[in-house]
Amino acid sequence: MATTIKDVAHECGLSITTVSLVLNNKPNRISEKNKQKIFEAAQKLNYIPSQTAVSMKTKKTNTIGLILPDINNNYFSELAKSMEEECSLHGYTVIYGNTSDNPKKDLTYTTTFLSKGVDVLVVIHSNISSLKEQKKILELAQSTNTPLLSIDREFEKIDVSSISVDRFSGSYQAVKHLTDLGHTRIGCITGTNHSKRSSQRLQGYKQALSDAGLPFEDELVYSGDFHVESGSDAFFYLWNQGVTAIFACNDVMAMGVYLEARRANIDIPRDLSVVGFDDIFFAKYIYPPLTTVAQPITEIGYEAAQQALSMASSTHASTKSTILKTSFVLRESTAPPNIRK
């Protein structure tokens, strides 16, 4: 049976009211000696405050619900870790739900977290989440007056606070690096076609080609889905198009290119230059180390925590869009083109 405040009061010989004031951190004039007795008794009896009872009094649970699309992707796990660490410093717990990029699970976890009374709902929705499904998430949050924050993947045509990065600029830098090296046939592996984050990266690719005096060719663009398998599939298609370089719109798809290039005995970067996007954990450890566009993952997690905490404590938080800068990271996966015969 769980230890109660009554048990703690009996152990230290003080009234239930006195013990309650101390353990619930309420204003009081209780001596330091008695406070110490209470804390020692609570520790001895393994007293754990009832979160349900606390939340009934404060109308808060000090929890934040975080919906992730793919915990196996280092980008999302690193982001979640950064967010959790910052929230923990302020007495908040982050609970996770992994959807495996299934939009139905977006709604399932939304309902589950709201039923648990989370103070804020933070969502990185699934790749193929539709406008209808995103609207439903917002409606569910609004029905419980729960603040909603979107990270990385903005809601389409819906006014929801969001945190993202300057994808256009980052992609432009990546492709400009390749054109500066002399590449003229540069393949691009995009993410899902309907997403803003994918279209913005594609626009950066197009602009870099245009500024280098190169034409945009539809056949050099492969529609991926941000998963490693689509990077593998894209490699075969783009290699047969005669590319000497590939810009993958995330590092995970770049990994797919690496895997198939190695199997085909195609050397990176001698035969094929590769640039990714994200700068996730493994990017600097694979061989050759991946040249990529770094998203400030730790900063995104910190910013998400700060905004969520602010939302939790405010009853009239305004909607805002935060866009952070990327940076280009030069490693060893790119070189001047080795013209194929």
pLDDT at 50: 61
Q: What is the pLDDT, as a whole number, of residue 60?
A: 80
Is it the case that residue 13 has pLDDT exceeding 70?
Answer: yes
Q: Is residue 83 part of a domain?
A: yes
Residue 24's pLDDT is what? 74
Give the contacts of 141 (CB within 8 A, at least 6 positions apart): 110, 114, 121, 147, 148
Q: Is residue 124's pLDDT more than 80?
A: yes
User: Considering the domain boundaries, does residue 330 fall inside one?
Assistant: no
Q: How many whole angstroms separate alpha carbon 46 and alpha carbon 312?
A: 29
Comparison of pLDDT for 128 and 164, the residue scoring more: 164
160 and 301 housed in the same domain: yes
Based on the domain organization, do 184 and 287 belong to the same domain?
Answer: yes
On whether residue 336 sits in a domain, the answer given is no
pLDDT tens, position by position, 231-253: 999 999 999 999 999 999 999 99
Query: How many CA atoms are closer than 13 Å to the CA of 116, on its beta-carbon side?
Result: 20
pTM, full prediction = 0.78
**Is residue 110 predicted with pLDDT exceeding 90?**
yes
User: Given this model, what pLDDT does residue 116 score?
Assistant: 87
Q: How confident is the model at residue 51 (pLDDT cuts 50, 70, 90)?
A: low
On whether both 132 and 195 belong to a single domain, the answer is no
SS3 assignment for the chain: CCCCHHHHHHHHCCCHHHHHHHHCCCCCCCCHHHHHHHHHHHHHCCCCCCHHHHHHHHCCCCEEEEEECCCCCHHHHHHHHHHHHHHHHCCCEEEEEECCCCHHHHHHHHHHHHHCCCCEEEECCCCCCCHHHHHHHHHHHHHCCCCEEEECCCCCCCCCEEEEECHHHHHHHHHHHHHHCCCCCEEEEECCCCCHHHHHHHHHHHHHHHHCCCCCCHHHEEECCCCHHHHHHHHHHHHHCCCCEEEECCHHHHHHHHHHHHHCCCCCCCCCEEEEEECCHHHHCCCCCCEEEECCHHHHHHHHHHHHHHHHHCCCCCCCEEEECCEEECCCCCCCCCCCC
What's the pLDDT at 1? 64
Do residues 143 and 108 both lie within one domain? yes
Query: How far is C-alpha 149 from the chain's CA centre?
Result: 12
Beta partners for residue 187, in sequence order:
246
**Do 130 and 140 lie in a common domain?**
yes
Identify the residue with better confidence: 127 or 256.
256
Count of CB atoms situated within 10 Å of the CB of 113: 26
Single out the residue of 39, 26, 101 nearest to residue 67, CA to CA.
101
249 within some domain = yes
**77 and 133 belong to one structural domain:** yes
pLDDT score of 57? 57
- Looking at residue 311, its pLDDT comes to 93
Instruction: Please tell me the number of Cα atoms within 13 Å of 154 on its side-chain side.
Output: 24
Specify the CATH number for the domain of residue 279. 3.40.50.2300
Expressed as residue numbers, the domain containing 202 is 167-295
Q: Clarify whether residues 44 and 66 are in a common domain.
A: no
Q: How confident is residue 53, by pLDDT bands cut at 50, 70 and 90?
A: low
Q: Please indicate, yes or no, whether residues 96 and 212 belong to a single structural domain of this protein.
A: no
Confidence at 314, pLDDT banded by 50, 70, 90 = confident
Quick one: 291 and 206 in the same domain?
yes
Residue 115 and residue 75 share a domain: yes
Peptide bond before 269: cis, by omega within 30 degrees of 0? yes
Percent of all residues in the chain with a pLDDT value above 70, rounded to a whole number? 93
Overall domain count for the chain:
3
- Is residue 341 situated within a structural domain? no
Long-range contacts of 217-222 (CB under 8 A, 24+ apart): 220/185, 220/186, 220/187, 220/188, 221/187, 221/188, 221/190, 222/187, 222/188, 222/189, 222/190
Q: Is residue 331 part of a domain?
A: no
Q: Which residues does 284 contact at the CB level (< 8 Å), separation at least 6?
A: 290, 331
Query: Quick check: is 140 in a domain?
Result: yes
- Mean pLDDT, rounded, for 141-169: 90
**pLDDT of 167-216, one tens digit each?**
999 999 999 999 999 999 999 999 876 677 888 999 999 999 999 999 99
Q: Are 154 and 255 in the same domain?
A: no
Shared-domain flag, residues 108 and 206: no
335 within some domain: no
**Burial environment of residue 191 by CB neighbours within 10 A (0 to 12, 13 to 18, 19 or more):** buried
Q: pLDDT grade, residue 153 (50/70/90)?
A: confident
pLDDT value at residue 332: 97
pLDDT digits (tens, 9 = 90+) for 62-90: 999 999 999 988 899 999 999 999 999 99
